[in-house]
Structure 1
């Protein structure tokens, strides 16, 4: 079935809104440029639908190109204390029949894998402007990734395709909820463009149990509604149901997950554990069964209704009922309905603001009132002369002056005897305030000395990993990005900690010596960690998933204890170092540029792109490049000494010389680098990759010449 009217309206709106904003310079008059633009515009609209982005930011989120690895747009957004990454795959169809095949699933999952491993060089250069945020988000505690499939079609995915997609996503989650997916179809896209011009009116039919009524000064009803009914509201109206809410539902957050879990596991307790929802409407009319008598059941029609408090609850209820309909549909929750029919002007806005500006109470807040936290604060002050901040809203102390209760909980979890604590904290740090984790961490009333030394160890591990990341890419770079808590656990379990509670100069001196050894131990443990993970789960396994999964974290920790204690040096890490060319033996290797020139792998005049490689480069170089895009381009000339003609000055450079010069200007960093990692031929890979193919073509041994 075709959808000509909806597709025509969508096409017109996409063109009007995104034509001036979406970069099409890389298309260069190639065939089907209009189709390519529309696909990119759909991706941008999907970003708008899933995030709070402006049209400009949504257009900037588009990374579609010949080497996009199935990912057409990326967006990073902080939702509460959780980083959320949206990855969009978009498909345009003039007939409203865009398909999504099993091959498309494989492509987008491969792109997801590359992103989770922080291998941004696998993508086109448009991702570089997002790499810093992606890096930080994917290395944050309990990130969330949503694959949004934006398809201009009115039909659902084929069952086989959906099954494959869910199977592949399941491999990334194990006992975690790192990745999920969402289908955005033609109806969703059409509603979104309509919403830019006119807010859709929502009329709700509501059945309330145990009705209560307020008549003065404004008419309002309150009572209980079923979760099945609330889910039906959201199924029919989606985000339009929360149009007046200050904070949209934004379907995925740590709060939503807790709401959903409660409803799925304990539907009979949901009424007691949920804060309920508040709706305002233009008018309330009697509708359906029952009369609006106090304590009875009654049906109402709400004209112009909107959920102004509890948007996350509504969204989570909908997801829970989708997940476990037989169980979750049996829950109940409180509802409050306020009619604005006789209200003063702008009173609805006052209700909305008031309902959304109360500070939510978290489990952490209850723990901050526990006696052991007050005792720790006093112990920090009297024993160490340091600050231990236990309440939210109080400024964090400087690193030299103390720590917060949250940092202490993370450090105690990382150093706990069981790696389960490190894995759970990496997955979602908020679980540390639950009894099953809080009591083992704080119930024994740890001394200020113990807590402070654990905090210092975690900080030193993180500092050491950050220094390692200066030169690391690939598997080691990913391990350095994600392995902080698990490696802190391993270091703590393999060092002498008998005097961790001891005071006095001798203990301080002893611990100072142990802390001085942390950097070298981290260097070795990090490399052994990759060896253990690859041996157990393969080189294509997700390191980010491994450190968040209890079973895997336990196995990896067991594999690391003995290796760290032995002091044995791990295998060479040249494959993951930016200051070495991979694959060498004893420092000998056929020069990459020589191999390329001898094989004729790149034609004179080919334009190359510069791509940041390390985490610091992703943070600092994209902005510098955007100031003058010519900085990221060079023209190839088949010369073994200086093959790159930089577009900025027209001069010839060796790859490493040029990269060092760029880093020096943009970052003030003059360290040695292997420049062939940084310069890419679009669609073919880096000079390193091309050189490897050239060597195979020439049948050159890897140690046939000095680098």
Structure 2
């Protein structure tokens, strides 16, 4: 990259973001431009408007190396940025800056605000609410206008931190944006051209009016090469970029790795918008080489990125994987029809595990048993129960029954509830929902869960820092221990929908269990991050056994 590119980036940042930035404490020009780089990164990764991205910049003398924070709601991800503007293109981000950034993020995820000051502290309540949410993921981004790649020491430090966070499931990742990536991001907004080469097998044409689509089967390896060549610019016209760590992504990656030869049958495919195309002269219906110009993947970003991830782990497996692709050619890739294709292909109903649960006749039996008792049980997608005093839904029932069942099911409910609905013909689903389980048992388990949740909400207000995170993220493990202590499984299957425990008793047990959990984690897992800790089967089994022993000792002394 040249000095000309650097000048173009500077002008773009000044025009787009300077009007929306607070430059308090930014005495020098490179400090102001660093804040603009942070705002650009936040805007691009979250889709926030420029003004909101500017307000999300946290650069300050006590920012812990964190120059910007924003929430990407569509993928439940907290985006955390360190930015650096350098007028010397031949540079990068130093190891000390990276380590400071990691230490700052570490304090943040431990809910330790003692070292922070300035704008980030003003947003404490907002950030805490996001971190307390069980599904929140972290995306660490280092953005610079330098041209150098990260050194191995910096990469290793970031890998180690994310590895610790990803103890049980992937919730943290990092990305490095140098001058080339920053420039490409800006250029994509000016309709930078991406041409995609592909060999389509068994291809065909569909035409309606002025709109023509080519469709066929392509090698997964070709699709991966698109992503390797263009990264997230490939999705510049999509309503969202590539996500990471979602249930859908993990399922796609697993399919590509475990059953690549049948990937075509299990994938929804990819839709690409293109302006023009070239076709090789040696084309027949069985195979043809095409080049689709000014292209963007508008549906299937998760398929593309997940295939790329699978290729990183086991590249040889993708040799037998194919994927269905359609290329919709339009005169104006940014016009109304192209936008309609993007929107409609991304908003069609998708059928998942929860939808198949509705076919289980046991669910209808529960609904009828609830109805006889004047309560409502909603198990179909789209059905809701607005008044918790009058019933519950499938999600409530699944979590409560999982915690009543055992520690493995409890962790699954915390980590990935959809796994409990994956197959309605066998465990873990059948362990929760079966002919021996009555509607009254479901309601009692749900009511006990709600009482415990209310007690934990009060306890949360009495704690701070890391302890508060343990109370929040350890809620399901605590519920399992309390259900075990109260011997919920011994409650007989009857038509009595009344909770057989007093509110006072539940709150007393919850208070004792919470205090014991805090002591156990402090003694045995002092360096573990609370969110991934309570998604780790092995560690939760150990913590759970210790907690049950401690509660039993309490029972004996009473």
Q: Using the TM superposition, give the Cα deviation of residue 56 of structure 1 relative to its aligned residue in structure 2, in angstroms.
A: 1.1
Write the distance in 2 (CA, Å) between the matches of 1:143 and 1:398: 27
> Is the aligned partner of 1:274 residue 2:260?
no
CA-to-partner distance for each residue in 1:454-510, whole Å, 9 max, x for gaps? Answer: 1112212211111112221123212112111010011011113254234477x947x
Give the length in aligned residue pairs: 552
Give the structure 2 partner of residue 211 of structure 1. Answer: 203
Match of 2:48 in 1: 53
Q: Which residue of 419, 430, 433 maps to 2:418?
A: 430
SS in 2 for 1:154: coil
Alignment gaps of 5+ in structure 2: none
User: Would you say 1:401 and 2:394 are equivalent positions?
Assistant: no
Deviation at 1:271, TM superposition (A): 1.1
Determine the structure 2 residue equivalent to 1:536.
524
1:49–1:341 distance in 2 versus 1, CA, 3 Å: closer
> Are the aligned partners of 2:332 and 2:338 in contact in 1 as well (CA < 8 Å)?
no
CA contact (8 A) 2:170 2:245 kept: no
Q: TM-score normalised to the size of structure 2? A: 0.92
**Structure 1 residue runs of 4 or more that deviate by more than 6 Å after TM superposition:** none
Task: Name the residue aligned to 1:465.
Answer: 456
| Among candidates 121, 142, 150, match of residue 149 of structure 1 | 142
**Distance change >3 Å, CA 402–CA 206, structure 1 → 2:** same
**Alignment of structure 1 residues 432-451 onto 2, 5 Å:** 432-435=420-423, 436-451=427-442
* 1:151-190 equivalence runs, <5 A: 151-190=144-183
1:115 and 2:103 are equivalent in the alignment: no
Match of 1:191 among 184, 187, 196: 184
**Shift in CA distance, 569/117, structure 1 to aligned 2, threshold 3 Å:** farther
Aligned to 1:523: 511
Deviations 1:19-64 (A, max 9, x none): 222222244x4xxx22222222111111112111111111111112
2-structure distance, mates of 1:129, 1:426:
30
Does the CA-based 8 Å contact 2:185-2:233 persist in structure 1?
A: no
Task: Calculate the aligned-residue CA RMSD, in Å.
Answer: 2.5
Q: What are the superposed Cα offsets for residues 539-578 of structure 1, whole Å, 9 maximum, x if unpaired?
A: x3212221111111111111111212333899xxxxxxxx
Residue 23 (structure 2) aligns with? 24
How far apart, CA to CA, are the structure 2 residues paired with 1:287 and 1:149?
42
Structure 1 CA distance for aligned equivalents of residues 92 and 329 of structure 2: 44
Match of 1:356 among 346, 353, 360: 346
Q: Which residue of 1 aligns with 2:215?
A: 222
Q: Quick one: distance in 1 between partners of 2:482 and 2:4? A: 63
CA separation in 1, counterparts of 2:511 and 2:254? 39
Q: Distance in 2 between matches of 1:388 and 1:156?
A: 55
What is the aligned partner in structure 2 of residue 386 from structure 1?
375
Deviation at 1:315, TM superposition (A): 2.4
Range moving further from structure 2, 118-127 or 219-228:
118-127
Structure-2 separation of matches of 1:209 and 1:129: 56
Which string of whole-angstrom CA distances, capped at 9 and with x for unpartnered residues, describes residues 44-90 of structure 1?
A: 111112111111111111112122122221111222xx521111111
* Alpha-carbon distance change, 432 to 78 in structure 1, aligned in 2, over 3 angstroms: farther
Kindly state the Cα deviation for residue 99 of structure 1 after the two structures are TM-superposed: 2.8
Q: Distance in 2 between matches of 1:201 and 1:86?
A: 27
Unaligned 5+ residue runs, structure 1? 571-707
- Judge conservation of contact 1:77–1:83 (CA < 8 Å) in 2: yes
Deviations 1:570-601 (A, max 9, x none): 9xxxxxxxxxxxxxxxxxxxxxxxxxxxxxxx
After alignment, is 48-57 or 277-286 more displaced?
A: 277-286
Q: After superposition, where does 1:327-342 map in structure 2 within 5 Å?
A: 327-328=317-318, 330-340=320-330
2:168–2:533: 8 Å Cα contact kept in structure 1? no
Q: Which residue of 2 aligns with 1:654?
A: none
> Where in structure 2 are the equivalents of 1:611-690 lying within 5 Å?
none
User: How many Å apart are 1:260 and its aligned residue?
Assistant: 2.2
- Does the CA contact (< 8 Å) of 1:142 and 1:429 recur in 2? no
1:64 aligns with 2:59: yes
1:411 equivalent in alignment to 2:400: yes
Contact 1:83 1:140 in 2 (8 A): no
Q: State the alpha-carbon separation in 2 of the partners of residues 181 and 54 from structure 1.
A: 23
- d(CA) in 2 for partners of 1:251 and 1:12? 32
| SS of residue paired to 2:96 | helix
Q: Distance in 2 between matches of 1:266 and 1:151?
A: 40
Partner secondary structure for residue 343 of structure 2: helix
Report the equivalent of 1:559: 546
Conserved? CA contact 2:134–2:473, under 8 Å: no
Residue number in structure 1 paired with 2:32:
37
Q: How big is each residue's C-alpha offset from its partner over 1:160-196, in whole Å with a ceiling of 9 and x where there is no partner? A: 3212321222122123112111112212211222334
Report the more deviating stretch, 123-132 or 169-178: 123-132
Structure 2 counterpart of 1:678? none
Q: TM-score, with normalisation over the residues of structure 1?
A: 0.73
Alpha carbons 1:475, 1:530 under 8 Å: kept: no
